[in-house]
Copies of this chain bind each other. A is one copy, B any other.
Amino acid sequence: MKMYLMTPGPTPVAPETQLAMAQPIIHHRSPQFMEILGKVREDLKYLFQTEQEVLIFAATGTGAMEGAVINTLSAGDTALVIDGGKFGERWTELCNVYGVKVERLAVEWGHAVDPKAVAKMLDANPAIKAVFVQANETSTAVQHPVQELAAVTKARPGTILVVDAISALGGVPMPMDKWGIDVLVAGSQKAMMLPPGLAFVALSPKAWEFVKTSKLPKYYFDFAKALKSADKNQTPYTSPVSLILGLREVLTKIRQVGLEKIFAHNRRLSLATKAAMKAMGLKLYSKDNPSDVLTAVETPVDGQKVVAELRKKGIWIAGGQAQAKGKIIRIAHMGFIDTVDLLGTIGGLEEVFNQLGYKVAPGVGLKAAQEILSKEAAV
């Protein structure tokens, strides 16, 4: 059976990338590998839209999130955590572990944070040194307004904006330098079209100043040490050679295609999906800023059953997490996914809904999707 991975991470890996990663292992301290890392470093700056160094860690994104906390703050510092889903909670957990005081700005699941509320909290408590947020909250498919949040923190020399863009970077616009993001975290297994196992982080000059005064303990995720190694086209410890070979391959592709085209491609798939779901009578779970890399809809039947039935057709979408479990389904529009995958997924969903007792006229979702696809130019 063919398999279609439409989950918001891991996402499919292209055969060319798989072949690149299947090349013989070369030594991580060799001139050959250092040349590869040099190329990768340049291309990562393009992807992050930054002039700063993008640090690479053998870890999943959570490792870089932990790094973002322990490299910029000290015990007793105060942070503002924007918590609008499962990944928002992770920032609070991390701060708690390290004795960072958390002012939590709870956002109802399915909603985006109001930048004015953030500005108000920062005004009320000037001790807040960092604002933690998700660019795209994967559990709710909501994009928080990162550009507006950056405008708020840019004006405050004592506060940095730390953005978990694990499911956003490379999928939707996130120009780090232009917007003024201070710490930008990404992972390999989403829009970057690689297997899980690489985490990335870039810091603004303002954030690097915070690193100088941070007193939290760090070793494996020590950003200053990683920066020193990067200058020599190395990583502090053994580089995950095969994943880096895959990274070189995807970054070359991404530059060839161009970020703008990739963003437009994802948005096209997203609009078509959202139209199809609406035509089938389903409601978006994301009330504000629905994501362009992910669609979450409320299901009229048990979402877990929808996911399970669709898997029997080889199509993998995600269900809901925690409080949204069973209530929603989530379909990804990031990475190595195209209209063929999407139309097949919508067709499969039409069938599954009918099987589970929610009646949908055959083709109603597909027609709505196709209408969007015919209007929005393919890229």
With A63-B220, A187-B238, A220-B66 known as contacts, the answer to whether A10 contacts B24 (CB < 8 A) is no
Q: A93: which of B12, B187, B189, B219 is its contact (CB, 8 Å)?
A: B219
Contact, CB under 8 Å: B316 / A60 = no
Q: Is the CB of B28 within 8 A of A10?
A: yes
Instruction: Say yes or no: is A257 at the interface (Cβ < 8 Å to chain B).
Output: no
Cβ of A99 under 8 Å from chain B: yes
8 A Cβ contacts from A1-27 to B: 3, 5, 7, 9-13, 18-19, 21-22, 24-27
- A195-B241 contact in complex given A3-B24, A30-B316, A217-B97, C-beta closer than 8 Å: yes
Contacts of A62 in B (CB 8 A): 219-220, 236-238
CA distance A192 to B171 in the complex (A): 35
Asked whether any CB of chain B lies closer than 8 Å to the CB of A61, the reply is yes
Chain B positions within 8 Å of A61 at CB level:
237-238
Shortest CB-to-CB span from A200 to chain B, Å, is: 14
Residues of the B chain whose Cβ atoms lie less than 8 Å from the Cβ of A30 = 311, 316
Q: Is the interface of A mostly helix, strand, loop or mixed?
A: loop
Interface residues of A in 41-88 (CB under 8 A from B): 58-63, 66
Chain B residue nearest in CB terms to A69: B219
Interface check A196, CB cutoff 8 A? yes
A27 & B316 in contact (Cβ 8 Å cutoff): yes
Residue A243 lies at the interface, judged by CB distance under 8 Å to chain B: yes
- A243 surroundings in chain B (CB, below 8 A): 195, 197
* Cβ-neighbour of A197 out of B5, B236, B242 (below 8 A): B242
- Mark out the residues of chain A between 25 and 43 whose CB falls within 8 Å of any chain B CB in the assembled complex: 25-28, 30
Q: How far is the CB of A153 from chain B (nearest CB, A)?
A: 24
Q: Are B19 and A22 in contact (CB under 8 A)?
A: yes
Q: From B3, B11, B196, give the contact of A240 (CB < 8 A).
A: B196
Interface residues of A in 218-243 (CB under 8 A from B): 218-221, 236-243
Residues on B with C-beta less than 8 A from A13 are: 24-25, 242
A218, closest chain B residue (CB): B97
A360 cross-chain contacts in B, Cβ below 8 A = none
A98 within 8 A of B: yes
The reply to whether the CB of A94 lies closer than 8 angstroms to some CB of chain B is yes
Q: Do A10 and B25 have beta carbons less than 8 Å apart?
A: yes
- B residues less than 8 Å from A12 (CB atoms): 24-25
In the complex the two chains form, is B219's CB within 8 Å of A66's CB? Answer: yes
Q: Which residues of B contact A239 (CB under 8 A)?
A: 196
Contact A60 B22 (CB under 8 A): no
22 contacts between A and B (CB under 8 A): A5-B24, A5-B26, A5-B27, A10-B27, A10-B28, A13-B25, A21-B21, A21-B242, A25-B195, A27-B316, A58-B59, A58-B196, A59-B220, A61-B238, A62-B220, A62-B236, A63-B63, A66-B219, A94-B219, A197-B242, A216-B217, A220-B221
Q: A: which residues have CB within 8 A of B?
A: 3, 5, 7, 9-13, 18-19, 21-22, 24-28, 30, 58-63, 66, 93-94, 97-99, 187, 189, 195-197, 216-221, 236-243, 311, 316
**Known contacts A59-B220, A97-B217; can you find 13 more A-B pairs with CB under 8 A?**
A13-B24, A13-B242, A25-B189, A28-B196, A30-B316, A58-B60, A58-B63, A59-B63, A62-B237, A62-B238, A94-B219, A97-B219, A197-B240
Closest 6 CB pairs between A and B? A197-B240, A195-B242, A18-B22, A196-B238, A62-B237, A63-B220
